[in-house]
Amino acid sequence: MITVALMMLQLSAAPAQAAPAPEAEIAPVNRVLDAMHAAASRADGDAYFATFTADGRFIGTDATERWTLPEFRAYAMPYFSQGKGWTYRPVTRVVTIAPIDCRCVAWFDEVLDNDAYGTTRGSGVLRLTEDGWKIEQYVLSFAVPNDKARAVVGVIKAD
C-alpha cells in the first residue's frame, strides 16, 4: 500500500498530458489483457488467474461485486471447472503507461463485445512485477447509451 501511495503521489506531480507510449512498450500489456480474455473464453481458470497480481481485484457489473482475487477465484472456478467461461471480445483498447521513472504502472480502458450483453467496457490497472505485467484491478461495466440511461436507472430503481 505504501508503494501504491508513493506512485500515486508521483503521478499527481507528473505532467497532465503524457506522450503516448510506443507500441513496443504497450504490447506486453495488451498481451496480458488478451491472454486474460482468451483464458476466460476457454474456461481455463489457472491461466486466467495467472494474469492477475496476488492482491488483484475484480469489480463486476453489480454494485456488490468487488472481489479480492481469492474471492473471485472461489466464485469463478466452479464455472471454469465445468468448462463454462465467458467471452468478451476486445473491439478497441487504449493503454497508458504511467509517466513515472519505473514505467511500471499502466492503466487501460477497452470496449468489448459480448454475445449476451452487447457492448461492454473493461478498465483497470496493471503493474509490472518480477513475473511481468499483471492485472492489479479489472472493472467490467455495461455501456449504457446516454439517451437510454434514465430508462435503465428507472428499471434499477424499481427493484
d(CA 114, CA 73): 21
Whose cell is 500515486? That residue is: 8
Residue 131, φ and ψ in degrees, nearest 5: -100, 15
d(CA 135, CA 48): 10
Whose cell is 514505467? That residue is: 103
The residue ranking higher by pLDDT, 156 or 137, is 137
Residue 19 banded pLDDT, cuts 50, 70, 90: low
Tens digit of pLDDT for each residue in 65-95? Answer: 999 999 999 999 999 999 999 999 999 999 9
Residues 59-64: what's their mean pLDDT?
A: 94
Residue 3 banded pLDDT, cuts 50, 70, 90: very low
- What pTM was computed for the model? 0.84
d(CA 104, CA 96): 11
Tens digit of pLDDT for each residue in 88-137? Answer: 999 999 999 999 999 999 999 999 999 999 999 999 999 999 999 999 99
